[in-house]
Structures are given as C-alpha cells and as structure tokens.
Homo-oligomer: A and B are copies of this chain.
Amino acid sequence: MRESAAPSAQGAAPGDQHVIGIDFGTLSGRAIVVRVADGAELGTAVHEYANAVIDDRLPATGERLAPEWALQEPNDWLEVLRRAVPAAVRDSGIDPATVIGVGTDFTASTPMPVTDDGTPLCRVDGLGGRPHAYPKLWKHHAAQAQADRINALAAERGEPWLARYGGAISSEWEFAKALQILEEDPEVYARIDKWVEAADWIVWQLTGTYVRNACTAGYKGILQDGAYPSREYLAALNPGFADFERKLDATIGQLGDSAGTLSDAAAALMGLPAGIAVAVGNVDAHVTAPAAKATAPGDMLAIMGTSTCHVMSSETLTEVPGMCGVVDGGIVAGLWGYEAGQSGVGDILAWYVANQVPPAIHEEARAAGRSVHEHLTELAWAEPVGAHGLVALDWHNGNRSVLVDASLSGLLVGTTIATRPEEVYRALVEATAFGTRVIVEAFGASGVPVERFFAAGGLLKNRRLMQTYADVLGMPISVIGSEQGPALGSAIHAAVAAGAYPDAVVAGDAMGNVVHEAYVPGPDAAPYDALYREYRELHDLFGRGGSDVMRRLKAIRREARAAAPAAAPQPQEATA
C-alpha cells in the first residue's frame, strides 16, 4: 500500500514545507498546519465528535450502558480527517501541495476490536448492537475486577513486568479491557482478529497498513523487552485468554518513524497529497514532550489538565514506586520513557467550583467580570502561605502514582467556622502541587532525578497556580509556548517521519516552543516547605496503612449503594 512520494513538496525549500498534526481528544479532534522550518502554527480547525463519549445508551439500540462504561464511535474520528484537516489547511492559506507529512496522537489506552483488514467489529454485520464491539475509551472503568485479578495473579507469580508499571496494571489498559470482553461477551471476543489502539487504527486508516506504536504497546500493552506476558500467566487468568497475544501481535513502530505513506483514499478524504509520510501513532501526553523541548534525560514534562500526566526520558532503567510505566523509546526513541500521573487536578478544582462555592462568590465573580476560578484565586492568594490553616489530600480520584490506590479519597483538615470558600480552593490547588512534589521526589529517590521541570496543558493559564507549583517544588518551571501542545507534537513527529529532521529531539529544538523558567521559586518556597511536611504526614498516614479509613469508607459506600438498587443501576443491564 506504499504510495509514491509527492515530489513537488519534498523538493521544496524547508521554509515552504508544512506538516499536519492531528490531536484526537476525548470530545473532539484538532488539526493544525505547521511550518517545518520553525514550527509556526499557521492554521487550525476542530471537529467535535457527534457521539462524544458513549456512556449512557448505545446509539445503535438505545440499550442502557452500565456505570463506568465509556465507548466511542470510530466514524467520529474519521470525520476529523474529513472535516478538520481541510478546514485547518484553508485556515492557514497554504498550498496543500507543500504538506510533506501527517502526524497523529490519540487518547490512550483506547483499544478496539477489529478484523484482519482493520474493520471495527461494531461495523461488522450483526455486531452493531453489541456494546463490546465498540472501542473502549480510556475512561471506561468497568474492567476493574479484571484489573484486580491481573495484578493479584502477577504479584502472586512474581511476573517480572509488574515492577515496570509501579506494581499495578490499570483497568484502563489493553489487557483488562480485553479480558472483560472475553468474560462478558465471549462471542465478540472470538471475532476479534486484532485488538488495536485507536492511536494505531487511525494511522492504519491513513496508510492502509497496521503498525503498532512502541509507546502504547509498552505503556498500555505490557510489551517489555520485546515480549508480552506469558501464555501460562494468561491461561491462569482465564483459559480462554491464553492466546491473547495473537490479537496484539504486530510490527512495532518507533515514535517518529514513518508508518507508511498517505493512501490515495485518505489523501482524497483530507485534500492532501497522496504518498506523503505518515508518522507512527502516538499518545497525547507523550507526543507533547518535543513540542515543549522537554526531551533531554531528566526533563520532566507535566501535562496539567483535568488530571496531570508526567513524562520524562532517561538513560537509566530503574523502578520508581508507583510510576505508571517505563518503556523503551516510550517518549523519544533511544531513551527509557517514564510516565507518572495525578488522577485528579483540574477536575478537583472543577468539582469544588460546581459543588462547594456559595452564591456570593459567583455573584462577585460575575460583577468583577472574571471566572469563579479566577475570582477564588484572586481572593485566596491575597493571604500569606498557611494563613488558611488548611491541608488537603488530592485523592478525589484515588492516587495513580507513588501509592497506586484507587480506593483512596480526598481529605481536608483544618477547617473552622471562619474558613472561607477561597481558602479551601487554595488548599486544593496546593494539594495538587504537593502531589507533584511527591512524584518528583520519588523519581529522585529512585535514581532518575528530575533535572528540569516543564509544564503544558490547560492549567497554565492560572499564573498563581503555576507560581505555587514552582514554590512548592523549589524548582523553576518552563512552560510550553503553544496552546496546542499535542497537535504541535504530532506535527513535529510528522516532520521527522518525512525526513526533514533526523529525530524528534532535533525537530523539537527547531519546531517546539517553550518559555524557559517562566516561573522560579520565590519567598513563598520556605513556608510551603512547612505545609508540605503536613501533607506528607497525611499522605503516609492515609496512604501507607497508618489509617485504612479511606479504604473502609469506599467499602461501606459500595455496600450501601448495593443495598439500594434503585439508586445504582446494576451492571448486568449492559452486559446481557
């Protein structure tokens, strides 16, 4: 299926060459047009998925999905190619003939069942009404029971790959989600030829060939040192799961490599030249590292949004407690890529604003012409550090890194009847900063110190928050200069795949965009040190067994809800 190159653009001067980066998010896809020479972002367009996240009813049948389910519709992704790419090209005003490559990134892990020719099972006759035939979005959390068994059995058998994931395989990843299909809809499972990350499926649609990217294969597919978990281990999980590897097996592509060239069909769909390079698939967080010029060993990049993902490359392979994973070439080819994360950051703040902020604050914010977040920030940071007398734990979504325990929960201590809403907001922001420091310290203690700290993502717009992070970390923070980090990162990988640069590091240096040391620790660093010690005490008390209150409360909550079926729909509704 390899197409011939389009000579006109390939032969043009670098200043006239362009690449397309396409970022497939949770609710929409964005295409940008970037100049190869310097990374200038010349045009952009967004397409919202018609079906967004399918977590209530299956559109094809109206069937009710169980709690924790989250599916997507592959056609929504194809619409991004058909609509957003040409719109971005039009927005940029460039000649499509000057485009030399396409790069993509995707949410992960978002795996899907397909046939050998890449047809999603939900498009196969007779299977459109089966929920398990659809792609399972990253936030599909209904395979927790499978994940628990995967982890317990791996620990019991001493599986060597478990430590590469900080001791826990997530219910969001490929194995747990596939095992859920096997156990809940074996007929669909039997029809799966390939269990493919959406990140790779979309590249398959562009090139006509299936190349599995090293990033998701490693972080989400448990591919370590060239091997998947053993047949014996899988059979012990479930005899029917023994040959699961057959559904995963594929050529592995390194990040920045070309997965192939743009097919005639895909070129026609997007209005681009056929035959140009298409980069190997990638993940939204990891692809951002070169866009922020954060690719040197010891450069930690935090992508700060509803949750925060930390990625860092290193020459050293080690085990960091609770890391999400370490993968050879997981961020840039040739280095070990570490990933860690905080499962609640922006969404804790959003929860607080939606649920715990009184009318007066909303009215003041409106009168002042700013958002409630901005208003709370203005009020709260007028006080000196610690004047609120509060410390919070940022575990409202559990703890993903260091402790790796989804049964942990949020905590707030120090409230009095003089505590004001903005003070709690600040305590929550500080808790997320303390959570980041715990991760940075865990890397340092494990022999892979964080040398420089970079940040990208939606939370950059809160400057007080960013300064607090710098003060709490005691490190300067460099921030990405682009508002479309993942799409720019995809464009950079497109340029590498097209041969314009030798690798993503060099391409990132030329095309990335960073403001170095935009925030440096100030006089608040010392008082935050004192508050951080309180956070650490609570962290260890509730996270390391000093008190199991949080875990027992989750159990009490589950039992209470199970005893009241009217309040909580039963899972079997969706798995029948």
Contacts and interface: CB of A to CB of B under 8 A. Distances in A.
A383 B556 CA distance: 13
Contacts of A559: 386
A565 to B, nearest CB: 11
Contact of A396 (B359, B416, B421, B556): B416
A383 B560 CA distance: 9
A548 B559 CA distance: 32
A95 to B, nearest CB: 47
Interface stretch (A52-60, A155-163, A173-181, A404-412): A404-412
A286 to B, nearest CB: 25
- Copies per assembly: 2
A124 interface: no
A413 B417 contact: no
A250 interface: no
A417 B564 contact: no
Contact of A354 (B354, B358, B415): B358
Interface residues of A, number: 59
Nearest to A389: B557
Nearest to A387: B560
Contact of A387 (B384, B538, B561): B561
Given A389-B557, A538-B547, A414 B409 contact: yes
Given A358-B356, A410-B414, A547-B541, A557 B419 contact: no
A386 B546 CA distance: 22
Contacts of A421: 355-356
Interface string A537-560: 110011000110110111011011
Given A351-B417, A561-B384, A389 B554 contact: yes
Nearest to A415: B410
Contacts of A563: 384
Contact of A417 (B362, B389, B396): B396
Interface in A372-399: 383-391, 396-397
Given A409-B415, A410-B414, A414-B410, A556 B541 contact: no
Contacts of A419: 351, 355, 396, 410
A344 interface: yes
Contact of A553 (B356, B384, B413): B413
A304 B262 CA distance: 75
A276 B530 CA distance: 65
A227 interface: no
Interface in A232-286: none
A459 interface: no
Given A358-B358, A396-B417, A386 B560 contact: yes
Interface of A: 344, 347-348, 350-351, 354-359, 362, 383-391, 396-397, 409-417, 419-421, 424, 527, 530-531, 534, 537-538, 541-542, 546-547, 549-550, 552-554, 556-557, 559-561, 563-564, 567
